[in-house]
């Protein structure tokens, strides 16, 4: 049933909450009414700046709040399944940050809880909403490059003294496979890149091969790069894709957010689309360029702020609840991206090509 107004509880008020809150604060029919974080001082600080009346330090207190319609889950990955299942069981709609869970079995339990509750469950994947990515999808779907044959994604890490300050507590759980579910780059950040690999080619990813090198960056700190992941899409014509992670940890990446440069090339039978930026702003290139029929066209008029991908993604969730409709990304689609990410991890660990079907 559609809501008249969406009253949101934020669960986990850490680094990414800075951007996740924007779509709620700016929506005329949404408000953040409660904030829950295990760190009570942080929860109080956030609640004051978002004008949320209630503050909790335990998730079950938030789930028991009858004034909360929807919960936005922004906790570390090992807590996602437990938090999402409990929120759904308490009758809340749920927006769950990517990657939704650490394993397919966890995601299946979350999906079953959503089906039993009749509430909306959406996995929040913001690259899908980034305006240059949306425009690229629109061009590719309209046939601007002919039949898409190949997707190449490239991520370059930059020096940590630039961009956002990311606290040790925010990094710590990501470097632990138990709490993250995989590598901070090739699983956590990778979820976005695997999603992008999937959305420009209308076929499932069938097989994956990955090299992932773990670079020591501190006493007990690791970066899972350089890495090279390649994949085959199902069906005909034969189509492949690749994602390269460059461990350029001494390079300056201009960014207002994470120091990560992500770019994508979609190559078709008749043309090419390049998306030249996302989280970072490494070069002053147009965000989107199309080549076809011997001409290049640059798109200069697109919003390029990475924060807009969060605004648009959150707005879509609120509007879905107001209109009583589904919302990207549902559990079935998220399962395909998660399987892709997990297959890359298995491939690198076992030194072999992995079929996604092997993972169940
Ligand atoms: N879409 C994106 O681009 C993007 C970017 C960054 C993070 N994320 C995702 O957002 C989520 C959070 O990431 P982050 O960087 O903000 O992490 P973070 O560590 O900065 O914040 C997590 C917060 O959760 C709180 N927390 C931990 N356990 C809790 C519990 N049991 N109950 C209540 N609060 C608890 C912590 O105190 C912390 O404030 C992760 O799923 C991550 O993958 C997505």
What is the mean pLDDT for each group of 10 consecutive residues in the chain (360 residues)? Answer: 93 98 98 98 98 98 98 98 98 98 98 98 98 98 98 93 87 93 97 98 98 91 94 96 95 93 97 96 92 97 96 98 98 98 98 97
> Residue 326 is encoded by which pair of tokens?
């589904």
Atom of ligand 1 nearest to the CA of 279: 3
Pocket around ligand 1: residues whose beta carbon is below 6 Å from it?
11-16, 36-39, 42, 59, 74-77, 79, 97-98, 126, 169-170, 188
* Gyration radius of the chain's alpha carbons: 20
Reported pTM: 0.97
Judge whether 172 and 72 are in contact, CB under 8 Å.
Answer: no
Q: Alpha helices of the chain — where are they, by DSSP H?
A: 17-20, 22-26, 40-50, 59-63, 77-89, 104-117, 131-141, 168-172, 177-180, 190-199, 307-323, 331-350
Q: Strand pairing of 148-157 and 121-124?
A: unpaired
> Residue 42 is encoded by which pair of tokens?
């942080």
Q: What's the CA-to-centroid distance between 200 and ligand 1, angstroms?
A: 29
Nearest CA-CA partner of 91 in 67, 109, 56: 67
């Amino acid at each position: 049933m559609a809501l008249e107004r969406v009253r949101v509880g934020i669960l986990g008020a850490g680094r990414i909450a800075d951007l996740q809150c924007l779509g709620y604060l700016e929506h005329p029919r949404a408000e953040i009414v409660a904030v829950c974080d295990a760190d009570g001082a942080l929860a109080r600080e956030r609640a004051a700046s978002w004008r949320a009346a209630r503050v909790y330090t335990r998730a079950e207190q938030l789930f028991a709040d009858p004034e909360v319609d929807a919960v936005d889950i922004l906790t570390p990955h090992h807590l996602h399944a437990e938090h999402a299942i409990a929120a759904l069981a308490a009758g809340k709609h749920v927006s769950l940050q990517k990657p939704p869970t650490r394993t397919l079995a966890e995601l299946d339990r979350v999906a079953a809880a959503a089906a039993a509750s009749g509430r909306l469950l959406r996995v929040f994947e913001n690259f899908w909403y980034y305006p240059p990515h949306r425009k690229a999808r629109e061009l590719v779907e309209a046939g601007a490059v002919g039949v898409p044959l190949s997707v190449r994604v490239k991520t370059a890490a930059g020096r940590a003294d630039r961009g956002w300050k990311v606290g040790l507590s925010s990094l710590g759980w990501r470097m632990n496979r138990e709490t993250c579910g995989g590598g901070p780059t090739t699983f956590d950040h990778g979820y976005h890149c695997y999603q992008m690999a999937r959305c420009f080619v209308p076929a499932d990813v069938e097989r994956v091969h990955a090299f992932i090198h773990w670079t020591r960056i501190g006493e007990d700190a690791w970066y899972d790069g350089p890495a090279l992941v390649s994949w085959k899409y199902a069906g005909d014509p034969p189509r492949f894709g690749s994602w390269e992670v460059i461990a350029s940890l001494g390079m300056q990446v201009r960014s207002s957010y994470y120091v990560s440069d992500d770019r994508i090339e979609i190559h078709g039978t008749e043309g090419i689309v390049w998306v030249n930026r996302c989280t970072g702003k490494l070069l002053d290139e147009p965000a989107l360029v199309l080549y076809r029929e011997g001409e290049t066209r640059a798109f200069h008029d697109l919003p390029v702020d990475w924060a807009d991908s969060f605004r648009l993604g959150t707005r879509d969730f609120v509007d879905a609840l107001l209109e009583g409709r589904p919302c990207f990304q549902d559990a079935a689609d998220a399962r395909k991206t998660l399987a892709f990410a997990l297959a890359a991890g298995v491939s690198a660990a076992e030194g072999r090509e992995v079929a996604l079907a092997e993972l169940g």
